[in-house]
Amino acid sequence: MGRLFGTDGVRGVAGRDLTAELAMDLSVAAAHVLGDAGAFSATGLKRPVAVVGRDPRASGEFLEAAVVAGLASSGVDVLRLGVLPTPAVAHLTAALGADLGVMLSASHNPAPDNGIKFIARGGYKLSDAVEDEIERRLGERWERPVGSSVGRVREAYGEADRYISHVLSALSGRLDGLNVVVDCAHGAAHMVAPEALVRAGAQVEAIGARPDGLNINSGVGSTHLDKLQQVVVSRGADLGIAYDGDADRCLAVDHTGAIIDGDQIMAILAVAMHGEGRLAKDTVVATVMSNLGFKLAMRDAGVNVVETAVGDRYVLERMKADGYNLGGEQSGHVIMLDHATTGDGLLTSLHLLSVVARTGRSLRELASVMTVMPQILINVKDVDKGKAAVPELAAAVLAAEAELGESGRVLIRPSGTEPMIRVMVEASSADQATQVAGRLADVVRTNCV
């Protein structure tokens, strides 16, 4: 059996891979690990406190019951937050002085999938070491609390307003006059996102805001932008915002329907924060997959770029370690560390809209700060990913880099979970990027078997 925890918690098909029994056992183990680490000293209460939230998936109902049962049976008091975005659960973990947070979601995955994310005291994701310890202690023998020592459970659905007030308090101005279409992916943001945008002054039309437990991410949301593009253009809206299922990220479309990705959103925010003297150390943190156009735009704007491995947790680690306050990924995970402990799609969208409102410039004009370089990604499957550094491939990469010069780049990256090597090429034209990537993929297929 491989490692249960992936890049963002434990995921699988609910009821088959992610069962009620596993959810309960994980919650018990998490309570024991964090308790042993002294994390339950924060509240000063007799018993530790956990907050539990979920997205609207049907399976979230039974998984929530299992998680709550596991925590309460371990002597943990539980606050049930109901349906809320992942960043809301992270914020409330800190704001309510809770010792542990749990979010049930599989993000942008289809409805049959689900996942469990544990959040540490203060609202931060767990480290790999803590996740490994939780796995190690699954199924261990333990002394079960009885009587007055068992945890108590109560509903705390009203705490959604505390989160909305928090993200609005981070804005420096209002959004009056902006006509916005917001796609909530039939997910966790379907109530809080339209409410927050309206309170900020925007005129809002919401789509993907009628979850039925089975339609999350189905043809809507940040992975399916077609409907948002159509509605923005047909309504003559200023722009559109799309969240994923748990709303920890967002993408946008401008008034013409053109997609504005995470790199462009980061570029807009970085330039604005830099101009206002709010960008810590004049630096933004991005991953190795960020578009070359982003890096060139930041160079021209006088902003430094620090690169990390792919994954928002690595971006966050670097930000915390070196004191940076803006970072993120091309996928739309943007971390604004002055206001949040994790990627927050609603917070990001509010700040993006705030730049539009303050400057009076369209999103299309603001996004022109960077030119998106054509990027081709080929996933070469069923190869030995351990051979990603063989001499033949290294030589082919050097030749490709010489051909591309400063107007392109090559990235060869073995998959972390599959027998696959990813070949990414950026170039000044799509044709050149496609040709170079195809040649390198052929080298991988020939020499990495």
Handedness of CA 277, 278, 281, 284 (dihedral sign): negative
Question: What CA–CA distance (Å, rounded) separates 42 from 123?
Answer: 13
Alpha helices by DSSP H, listed for 148-291, are 160-169, 192-199, 226-235, 262-275
Angle at 259 between CA 243 and CA 328, to 5 degrees: 55
CB atoms within 10 A of CB 423: 26
**Contact assessment for residue 292 and residue 426, using Cβ atoms and an 8 Å cutoff:** yes
Q: Is 70 helix (H, G, I), strand (E, B) or coil?
A: helix
The active-site residue out of 107, 222, 331, 354 is 107
**Contact assessment for residue 335 and residue 343, using Cβ atoms and an 8 Å cutoff:** yes
Q: Is 83 helix (H, G, I), strand (E, B) or coil?
A: strand
Q: Is 12 helix (H, G, I), strand (E, B) or coil?
A: strand
Alpha helices by DSSP H, listed for 209-291, are 226-235, 262-275
Question: What CA–CA distance (Å, rounded) separates 364 from 238?
Answer: 10
Question: What CA–CA distance (Å, rounded) separates 250 from 270?
Answer: 16
Closest CA to 47 of 79, 22, 23: 79
CB atoms within 10 A of CB 173: 12
Contacts 24+ apart (CB under 8 A), 389-394: 390/447, 390/448, 392/443, 392/446, 392/447, 393/440, 393/443, 393/444, 393/447, 393/448
Respond yes or no: is residue 127 known to be catalytic. no
Residue 224: Cβ-neighbour burial (10 angstroms; 0-12, 13-18, 19+):
middle
Closest CA to 219 of 258, 193, 186: 186
Closest CA to 328 of 339, 342, 338: 342
Contacts of 176 by beta carbon, 8 Å cutoff, 6+ apart: 201, 202, 357
* Cα-based torsion angle of the residue sequence 317, 322, 327, 328 in order, rounded to the nearest 10 degrees: -20
Task: Sort strands 100-104 and 113-120 into parallel, antiparallel or unpaired.
Answer: antiparallel
Residues designated catalytic: 107
